[in-house]
């Protein structure tokens, strides 16, 4: 939790200096997140004072923001803990329970009311990466055969216990979703009007077994606060709320960043050293052996390196440029793969090839001029046993610049083909990225660079 220091200190001061009644009055006006950030700087006695001052409902909202709730639940008895968890949104309750010890979790579940326990059990059965694992039971439903008056009466009766009252979901008698009604339309409808007239039947839906990462961009496209979720039998089981979508979206970004960096999974800055090492080592070892292979390839061109030693001087420049171009192309491709409307990849490949040619030509021309100027000014020895000459400088500069052109074209295509192929093979494209694509581009660039130099050696 990131702490706003001023707000945190104000809340701490309120707890220290006021009675329980006044604490409740003052903190009811504070955002739950701000109160949650205060927990780690309060003493246990101060937190106990806070627990006694606030209602269980307020505490349930606060505990939902805590990253390590177990520490603070240990300060409460099991009955109080069970009451707080039962009042949480079901998704938050499931998340909190996962962070508790198994024995504590079982004891608390026995104390939670049957309805909440059943909802928690239902959501817990879904795999973590599916939509079902983050659905909410915070919604209002009406029957397709209800009248306007009956629908309004049901909404008023359930509004106090539900936050999501702006959309009412219309169900058939068998529990399947028929459509949805906007609260605004329900309010302005005449009591004798037909409910059917204000039902939107063509409404976006999700299914419990849909993968979050596959649907997250579709969800964002609809720009809805809540979306209905159905089970495999098309029965309405809950809704997906925008805040849970945002949380899932952030987790997906964190996972992709981790994969781009060559981590087996997301790591946390506060994790233990050993835990961090375990996540980093697999890719590092794999990349280490790829690096060995690159070095082995370079050693195979020993003759050309001995003949034209100046090639080694400009090797890192080529490797850097091909790696940068490949990474740029990779980033654009992964963004395209995540778009709801997939681009025409044949057209994209053609465009990428042309882009690579133009970029390569531009960089190659600049490289040729720069390298020739450098060699001419420094009178660098280029070919073993041959004195410096301007024609020779032109030839060596041309070899390096031409290698740069070919390397950039291929690196640009590689940045598209690797993630695109990974996607077709049902492998996360983000895995085939970052350090991996950089190392592969190094491998390809070394082959191009020294291979072309060997082929063109006869020209010298």
- What is the average pLDDT across 394-414? 90
Q: How do beta strands 226-230 and 236-241 pair?
A: antiparallel
Look at domain 5-129 and name its CATH class.
mainly alpha
How far apart CA 241 and CA 254 sit, in angstroms, is 20
How far apart CA 112 and CA 60 sit, in angstroms, is 13
One-character DSSP codes across 280-316: HHHHHHHHHHHHHHHHHHHHHTHHHHHH-THHHHHHH
Q: How many C-beta atoms lie closer than 10 Å to residue 68's C-beta?
A: 12
How far apart CA 344 and CA 332 sit, in angstroms, is 14
Beta-bridge partner residues of 226: 241
Fold category of 273-459 in CATH? Tetracycline Repressor; domain 2 (1.10.357)
Residue 3 has pLDDT above 90, yes or no: no
Contacts of 396 (CB under 8 A, 6+ apart): 308, 310, 311, 371, 375, 382, 383, 460
Q: What are phi and psi of 231, to 5 degrees?
A: -90, -170
Q: How confident is the model at residue 435 (pLDDT cuts 50, 70, 90)?
A: low
pLDDT for res 1 = 42
pLDDT for res 277 = 74
- What is the average pLDDT across 424-449? 74
Q: How confident is the model at residue 2 (pLDDT cuts 50, 70, 90)?
A: very low
Residue 269 has pLDDT above 80, yes or no: no
Look up residue 50 and give its two tokens. Answer: 């806070």
Q: How confident is the model at residue 331 (pLDDT cuts 50, 70, 90)?
A: confident
How far apart CA 334 and CA 422 sit, in angstroms, is 11
Between 7 and 302, the higher pLDDT residue: 302
What is the value of pTM for the model shown? Answer: 0.59
Residue 406 has pLDDT above 80, yes or no: yes
pLDDT digits (tens, 9 = 90+) for 346-361: 777 788 788 889 999 9
For the chain, the straight-line distance linking the first and the last C-alpha, in angstroms and rounded, comes to 64
Q: How confident is the model at residue 457 (pLDDT cuts 50, 70, 90)?
A: low
- What is the average pLDDT across 282-286? 76
pLDDT digits (tens, 9 = 90+) for 139-152: 999 999 999 999 99
Give the domain ranges of the chain.
5-129, 140-241, 273-459
CA-CA-CA-CA torsion for 244, 250, 255, 259, nearest 10 degrees?
150
Average pLDDT over the chain, rounded to whole? 83
Q: How confident is the model at residue 279 (pLDDT cuts 50, 70, 90)?
A: low
**Mean pLDDT: which of 75-89, 298-312, 428-442 is highest?**
75-89
pLDDT digits (tens, 9 = 90+) for 181-233: 999 999 998 887 889 999 999 888 999 998 887 777 667 777 777 889 999 99
pLDDT > 90 in the chain, percent: 20
Fold category of 140-241 in CATH? CBS-domain (3.10.580)
pLDDT digits (tens, 9 = 90+) for 95-144: 888 888 888 888 888 899 888 888 888 888 888 888 888 888 889 999 99
Q: How confident is the model at residue 305 (pLDDT cuts 50, 70, 90)?
A: confident
Q: Closest Cα partner for 185 from 169, 199, 165, 171?
A: 199
Q: Closest Cα partner for 131 from 223, 222, 247?
A: 247
């Amino acid at each position: 939790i990131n702490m706003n220091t001023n707000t945190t200190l104000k809340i701490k001061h309120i707890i220290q200096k006021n009675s329980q009644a006044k604490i409740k009055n003052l903190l009811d006006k504070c955002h739950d997140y701000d109160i949650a950030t205060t927990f780690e700087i309060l003493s246990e006695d101060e937190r106990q004072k806070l627990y006694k001052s606030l209602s269980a409902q307020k505490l349930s909202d606060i505990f939902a923001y805590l990253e390590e709730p177990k520490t603070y639940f240990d300060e409460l008895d099991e009955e109080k803990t069970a009451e707080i968890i039962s009042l949480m949104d079901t998704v938050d309750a499931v998340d909190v329970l996962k962070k508790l010890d198994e024995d504590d979790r079982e004891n608390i579940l026995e104390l939670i009311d049957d309805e909440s326990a059943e909802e928690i059990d239902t959501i817990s059965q879904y795999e973590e990466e599916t939509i079902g694992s983050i659905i909410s039971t915070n919604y209002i439903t009406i029957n397709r055969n209800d009248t306007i008056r009956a629908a309004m009466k049901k909404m008023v009766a359930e509004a106090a216990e539900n936050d999501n009252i702006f959309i009412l979901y219309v169900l058939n008698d068998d529990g399947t979703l028929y459509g949805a009604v906007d609260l605004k339309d329900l309010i302005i409808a005449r009591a004798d009007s037909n409910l059917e007239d204000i039902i939107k039947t063509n409404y976006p839906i999700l299914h419990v077994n849909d993968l979050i990462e596959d649907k997250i961009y579709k969800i964002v496209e609809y720009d809805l606060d809540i979306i209905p979720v159905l089970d495999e039998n098309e029965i309405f089981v809950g809704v997906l709320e925008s805040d849970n979508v945002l949380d899932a979206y952030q987790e997906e970004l964190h996972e992709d960043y981790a994969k781009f960096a060559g981590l087996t999974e997301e790591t946390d800055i506060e994790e233990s050293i050993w835990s961090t090492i375990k996540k980093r080592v697999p890719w590092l070892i794999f990349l280490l052996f790829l690096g060995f292979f690159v070095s082995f390839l370079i050693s195979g061109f020993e003759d050309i390196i001995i003949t034209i030693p100046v090639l080694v001087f400009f090797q890192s420049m080529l490797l850097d440029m091909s790696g940068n171009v490949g990474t740029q192309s990779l980033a654009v491709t992964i963004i395209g793969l995540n778009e709801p409307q997939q681009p025409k990849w044949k057209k994209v490949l053609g465009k990428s090839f042309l882009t690579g040619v133009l970029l390569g030509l531009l960089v190659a021309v600049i490289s040729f001029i720069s390298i020739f100027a450098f060699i001419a000014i420094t009178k660098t020895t280029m070919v073993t046993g041959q004195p410096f000459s301007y024609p020779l400088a032109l030839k060596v500069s041309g070899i390096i610049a031409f290698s740069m052109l070919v390397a950039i074209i291929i690196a640009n295509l590689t940045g598209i083909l690797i993630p695109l192929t990974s996607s077709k093979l049902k492998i996360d494209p983000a895995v085939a990225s970052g350090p991996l694509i950089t190392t592969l581009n190094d491998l390809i660039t070394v082959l191009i660079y020294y291979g072309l130099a060997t082929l063109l050696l006869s020209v010298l």
